[in-house]
Amino acid sequence: MSFKDDPRLMVIGDRLRSVRNIVPIMSSKGGVGKTLVASLLALVSVENGLRTGLLDLDVTNPTTHIVLGIDPSKVKPIEEKGIIPPSIHGIRFMTIAYYSLENPVPLRGYEIDDVIREILAITQWGGLDILFIDTPPGLSDESLDVLTYFTNPRPLIVSTPSPLSIRSVERLLTLLVEQGINILGVVENMVVRVTGHIRDLCRRYGVKYLGQIPYDPGVDIAIGNIEDLRNTKFYKHLMESFNILRTMLI
């Protein structure tokens, strides 16, 4: 579809003009910790004084609000020539869950694409240093939209040491490199024993290794409570990854 067919596509660039860095958190495999990394990196980023946004693009199963302990029936964006996402824990936070609440959201791919265009066309982010985007697993409309509708997206890839995750990340890196996408790096999550496979993968694709996060069963219990989350080992390790990542920001 060309930009002429859908006027919303012309607006998206305007809406994001004052967002300096767009960082989609990606992985074709599910359950590697994308949602936790996206949500907690946003908190770390605020703590570091950056103007930070978080967009949940997992539209058929949004969960960033659950991590951040937000009840979407009680918080709503302000409508004003589009919508202004509320600031929660210092993060400009946008999710379809404001509207779908905890109901199931079964959507065909073309409907997902439509929802994403709508969200991007109406959301007024204002000035942001960094916008983190939580994406769903797989390699379909959401991921393709991220690579299509944003100017210079710089994905941060999450992987676990599992062979299934490594093979999935390999396919994703192949695609991103082919498309000339500027990859920020790879975070290795849920490490039980150090193997070096992800480091090797990064070397092979010329991508930065952003550090490893040990497997931390304590995170699950902390979900929904910001103070508890800040006290996890997971959070401490993410702070180190953020320090590397920060030097690469525009």
Of the pair 129, 188, the CB lying nearest its own copies is at 188
Report in angstroms how near the CB of residue 11 gets to its own copies at its nearest. Answer: 22
Instruction: Give whichever of 83 and 175 is closer to its own copies, judged by the CB atom.
Output: 175
Nearest to 183 by CA among 165, 201, 222, 157: 157
Nearest residue (CB) to its own copies, 24 versus 161: 161
| Smallest distance, its own copies to C-beta of residue 22, A | 19
Q: Of 26 and 184, which CB lies nearer to its own copies in the complex structure?
A: 26
As measured in angstroms, the least distance from the Cβ of 111 to its own copies is: 8
Shortest spacing between CB 60 and its own copies, in angstroms: 4
CB of 191 to its own copies, least distance (A): 10
Give Cα separations from 242 to 202, 213, 239 (angstroms).
17, 12, 5
| Residues contributing to the site for its own copies (CB under 8 A) | 28-32, 35, 58, 60-61, 63, 66-67, 102-113, 136-141, 143-144, 160-164, 167-168, 170-172, 174-175, 192, 215, 217, 220, 223-224
Give 225 or 243: the residue with its C-beta nearer to its own copies.
225
* Closer CB to its own copies, 120 or 222, in the complex: 222
Q: Minimal CA–CA distance to 38: which of 85, 93, 77, 86?
A: 93
Q: For residue 77, give both structure tokens.
A: 């964006």
How near is the Cβ of 72 to its own copies at its closest, in Å?
Answer: 12
